Amino acid sequence: MENTVKIRSPYDQKLVKELTLIEANEIENIIQNAKSLFDDQSLWLPAYQKIEVLEKAASIMNARIEELTFLAISEGGKPYKDSKAEVLRAIKGVKLAVEHISQLKGEQVPMALTEASLNRLAFTIKEPIGVVAAISAFNHPLNLAVHQIVTAVAAGCPVIFKPALATPLSSLALADILREAGLPSGWLQIVLCSKEAAEKLVTDPRISFFSFIGSAKVGWYLKSKLSQGTRCALEHGGAAPVIVEQDADFAEMIPDLVKGSFYHAGQVCVSVQKIYVNQDICDLFIQKFTQATNKLIVGDPSEKSTDVGPLINSREADRVAEWVKEAIADGAELITGGTRVSETIFQPTILFNPPESSKVSCKEIFGPVVCIYPFTVRDEAIKKANALEVHFQAAVFTKDLDIAFDIVKKLNATAVMINDHTAFRVDWMPFGGRDSSGIGMGGISYSMNEMTREKLMVIKSKNL
């Protein structure tokens, strides 16, 4: 097996960098380094020191916005405007972690509620959970690293981070920044390794918390192999259904849905994929949605005007092309797109009414493809939206609050956006899938809480 990984530009496949993979036998030392650091409480970082390090890291990142933006473009292919937005989000994420450090606190537990509990004072305190092992996805190489690395550091946990091998450069840059900001050695170790070595890492009994962002197949498999006592948070994909009622505001809705559908070429776990449109406005919706989609600028992600760039590699472009071809053969109508612009760029594509059995209908597309389905009975649309195993974020467009609340109540999703696209997210809100889409909740403060555990202290005194 090759002991290096070649990082290639998704846009033109040019070699960006070649990095060395660690051997599986090196995992032992990496885990032991982290565990030894955690076991010696004299080495734990006090809150003020974590705040100083992270504040300085945010300042360094802010001074390197363009550098980090083009680094993310080079490895991930996300267009300039969106990569820059990711860098700005990542900086905000570090600041959010700093703000939440002061909120890692316990609470008093009432005593004297029974005679047996007289003369006692009880309260909880928060402690870091232990060594964190984190595996990340390719699609947001800097922001995801912040969500898994910075949260662990802020919670007081040594973290071992495995980035996606397609996009490791942004996390390596973040590691350099954290070191420059004063993070002591051992609190962050980044590993580039094979799947076998990664499995050895996360299933080790010395790992107290496993954070995973990526495919459901891999995530659920690794969860099944975790050691007893290892807690975890898994974030997988979804199909992001949208229900559009006849009173929806087209002027607001169309730009939102186009952005939510084709942002990062649809390579987002909550990207708009299935749009159920009231039959009375379906023709008009298709017309306006198609017009807006066709105005998107597709091409070189380094150009500031580009809206849609490449898929992460040619294999993914092959897969998307096959799924679209299958859907059309099954009876779907191709409204626009459906062809490749290059080896890795696929046109923003709209399909009308593909069968529910087609892959584009029943699996996560993770590409620039959106399916539109007409409906006459709202509950039937909701039933179809809920029929898949994946349930993450969803949306409804209507000006009728009664209809909106009815849909929110009935849709199986962790979050439902009203008059906004499914990919809306800010990093201080809870974010995660349910059912086969994941377990646990992300978001900066939520992840930090997941990486701590409570300890109860009870004091007995005759003077209490």
3-state SS of the chain? CCCEEEEECCCCCCEEEEEECCCHHHHHHHHHHHHHHHHCHHHCCCHHHHHHHHHHHHHHHHHCHHHHHHHHHHHHCCCHHHHHHHHHHHHHHHHHHHHHHCCCCCCEECCCCCHHHCCEEEEEEEEECCEEEEECCCCCCCHHHHHHHHHHHHHCCCEEEECCCCCCHHHHHHHHHHHHCCCCCCCEEECCCCHHHHHHHHCCCCEEEEEEECCHHHHHHHHHCCCCCCEEEEECCCCCEEEECCCCCHHHHHHHHHHHHHHHHHCCCCCCCEEEEEHHHHHHHHHHHHHHHHCCCECCCCCCCCCECCCCCHHHHHHHHHHHHHHHHHCCEEEECCCECCCCCECCEEEECCCCCCHHHHCCCCCCEEEEEEECCHHHHHHHHHCCCEECEEEEECCCHHHHHHHHHHCCCCEEEECCCCCCCCCCCCECCEECCEECCECHHHHHHHCEEEEEEEEECCCC
Residue 424 forms part of a structural domain: no
- Average pLDDT on 47-61 reads 98
**Is 271 inside a domain boundary?**
yes
The answer on 147 and 205 residing in a single domain is: yes
31 and 175 inside one domain: yes
pLDDT at 375: 97
pLDDT tens digits along 296-339: 999 999 999 999 999 999 999 999 999 999 999 999 999 999 99
Q: Which residue has the tokens 């390596």?
A: 172
One-letter amino acid for residue 451 of the chain: M
- Report percent pLDDT > 70 for the chain: 100
Residue 380 reports pLDDT greater than 90? yes
Q: Dump pLDDT digits (tens) for 424-435.
A: 999 999 999 999
Asked whether residue 175 falls in the same domain as residue 293, the answer is: no
In a domain, 165, yes or no: yes
Query: What integer pLDDT is reported at residue 10 of this predicted model?
Result: 97
Which of 230, 192, 186 is closest to 209 using CA atoms?
230
How many whole angstroms separate alpha carbon 273 and alpha carbon 337?
Answer: 15
Residue 353 lies in a domain: yes
Pairing of strands 4-8, 15-20: antiparallel
Domain count, the chain: 2
How many residues are given for the chain?
464
Q: Are 31 and 152 in a shared domain?
A: yes
pLDDT at site 316: 97
Render the burial of 443-457: b for 16+ CB within 10 Å, e for the rest. bbbbbbbbbbbeeee
Q: Are residues 182 and 258 in the same domain?
A: no
Res 1 pLDDT > 60: no
228 shares its domain with 251: no
Judgement on whether residues 147 and 11 belong to the same structural domain of the protein: yes
Whole-number average pLDDT of the chain? 96
Both 268 and 375 in one domain: the answer is yes
430 in any annotated domain: no
pLDDT level of residue 2 (50, 70, 90 thresholds): low
Pair 220, 324 in one domain: no
What's 67-118 look like in SS3? HHHHHHHHHHCCCHHHHHHHHHHHHHHHHHHHHHHCCCCCCEECCCCCHHHC
Same domain, 271 and 175: no
Task: With a cut of 80, say whether residue 126 has pLDDT above it.
Answer: yes
- Is 245 in the same domain as 229? no
Average pLDDT over residues 342-368: 96
What confidence score (pLDDT) does residue 152 get? Answer: 98
- Annotated catalytic residues are 235, 269
Q: Is residue 432 part of a domain?
A: no
Domain annotation covers residue 431: no
pLDDT score at 18: 97
CATH, residue 147: 3.40.605.10
Determine the residue type at 264.
H
Residue range 152-158: mean pLDDT, rounded:
98
The pair of structure tokens assigned to 338 is 């459906």
CATH code of the domain covering residue 346: 3.40.309.10
| Domain that includes residue 126, residue range | 4-236+437-459
Reported pTM: 0.95
Establish if 426 belongs to a structural domain: no
Residues 230 and 247 in one domain: no
